[in-house]
């Protein structure tokens, strides 16, 4: 709506046709994706709305969609019980902005990545963190797949962390090139690849391979990068005397075909196949795609159009946030080249 400055977070990690949105002007909304019999298109029906005190930075569903967790610029994480939406519970906090939050079903806990240069895990029954992982630098973008965490840091490095059993950590320099700041990051649904994008239109994909290290009486998994798949200029064009580039604001994969992934930028929504190393589709959006998510089944993509907060506070915030949902067909997800 017109009062929303820009979309900050979209998640379809809950129920298949339910997705949540958190915005910079402190709004939490949940929509149901419904079929519109009048025009064979999808319709968004709002099921929940709550105004909170501070801008919302990230959101995460709990197990069975009973609660919604959200982090705000006051460095806290709060929980809304969707069966008792008038009650807000403060769950945990950091000493600086919490950039990303995840619900970890394997441990029935929360995982938070903060600008205080730490990742923390939280037992929901305890007020103090279960573990603290020191990063040494600010995490600009983080994703999680099962117990695997991928994190792009402010010093142009990428970290992978295997939470269990010993929080094993691997570090590699970013493949984007010098001075390309990591802005978004995603791990594919089976934990075999990771992609990250930059503020100057570059994207890099890395294959993740398990190395097994025999510990005392058990096997410990350590993740290392063995095969950089490729790096490319997704939204960057260099012509004589000029360079045109657009932020990569979001990246995501699809569980129906892990080789398929999308990039959302300040000018277009594009689909790629990293096996064929081709852009297979692209839709100009006229306005920046500020946030984007794909459902677990890979059937739905939801995204927000609006003002690009990555461009800084001087960008005119005069455009409303426009929420859209797209049904991803089998033909789209199996493309290997642009037809």
Measure the CA–CA gap between 157 and 318, rounded to whole angstroms: 35
Measure the CA–CA gap between 59 and 20, rounded to whole angstroms: 8
* Residue 83: exposure state from Cβ atoms within 10 A (0-12, 13-18, ≥19): exposed
Measure the CA–CA gap between 123 and 233, rounded to whole angstroms: 41
DSSP conformational letter for 178: T
Question: Tokens representing 172?
Answer: 């590699």
In the chain, the N- to C-terminal Cα span, in Å, equals: 36
Whole-number mean pLDDT of the chain? 82
Measure the CA–CA gap between 305 and 307, rounded to whole angstroms: 7
Condensed to tens digits (0 to 9), the pLDDT of residues 34-55 reads 887 777 788 888 989 999 999 8
Measure the CA–CA gap between 241 and 232, rounded to whole angstroms: 21
- Whether residue 135 is predicted with pLDDT greater than 90 in this model: the reply is yes
Condensed to tens digits (0 to 9), the pLDDT of residues 225-253 reads 445 677 878 877 776 777 778 888 899 89
Measure the CA–CA gap between 261 and 143, rounded to whole angstroms: 15
Beta bridge partners of 76: 93
- Whether residue 89 is predicted with pLDDT greater than 90 in this model: the reply is no
Mind giving me the DSSP string for 200-231?
A: TSEEEEEEEEEEEEE-SSSEEEEEEEEEEEEE
Measure the CA–CA gap between 162 and 88, rounded to whole angstroms: 31
| Its pTM surpasses 0.85 | yes
- Whether residue 93 is predicted with pLDDT greater than 70 in this model: the reply is yes
Q: What phi, psi does 197 have (nearest 5°)?
A: -125, 165
Condensed to tens digits (0 to 9), the pLDDT of residues 102-123 reads 998 776 799 999 999 999 999 9
Percent of all residues in the chain with a pLDDT value above 70, rounded to a whole number: 83
């Amino acid at each position: 709506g017109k009062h929303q400055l820009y979309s900050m977070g979209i998640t379809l990690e809950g129920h298949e046709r339910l997705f949540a949105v958190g915005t910079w002007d402190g709004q939490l909304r949940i929509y149901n994706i419904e079929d519109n019999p009048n025009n064979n298109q999808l319709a968004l029906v709002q099921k929940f709305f709550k105004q909170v005190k501070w801008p919302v930075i990230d959101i995460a569903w709990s197990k069975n969609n009973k609660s919604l967790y959200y982090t705000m610029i006051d460095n806290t994480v709060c929980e809304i019980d969707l069966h008792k939406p008038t009650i807000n519970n403060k769950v945990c906090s950091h000493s600086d902005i919490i950039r990303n939050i995840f619900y970890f079903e394997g441990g029935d806990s929360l995982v938070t990545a903060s600008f205080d240069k730490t990742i923390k895990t939280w037992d929901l029954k305890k007020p103090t963190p279960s573990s603290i992982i020191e990063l040494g630098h600010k995490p600009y973008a983080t994703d999680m797949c099962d117990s695997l965490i991928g994190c792009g840091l402010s010093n142009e490095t990428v970290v992978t962390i295997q939470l269990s059993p010993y929080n094993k950590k691997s570090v590699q320099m970013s493949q984007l090139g010098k001075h390309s700041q990591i802005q978004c990051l995603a791990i594919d649904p089976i934990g075999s690849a990771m992609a990250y994008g930059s503020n100057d239109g570059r994207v890099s994909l890395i294959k993740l391979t398990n190395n097994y290290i025999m510990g005392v009486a058990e096997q410990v998994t350590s993740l290392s990068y063995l095969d950089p798949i490729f790096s490319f200029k997704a939204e960057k064009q260099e012509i004589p005397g000029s360079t045109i580039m657009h932020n990569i604001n979001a990246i995501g994969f699809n569980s129906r075909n892990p080789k398929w992934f999308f990039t959302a930028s300040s000018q277009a929504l594009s689909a790629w196949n990293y096996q064929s190393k081709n852009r297979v589709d692209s839709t100009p959006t006229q306005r920046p795609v500020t946030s984007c998510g794909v459902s677990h089944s890979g059937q739905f993509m939801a995204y927000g159009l609006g003002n690009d907060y990555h461009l800084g506070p001087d960008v005119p915030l005069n455009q409303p946030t426009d929420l859209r949902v797209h049904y991803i067909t089998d033909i789209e997800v199996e493309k290997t080249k642009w037809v």
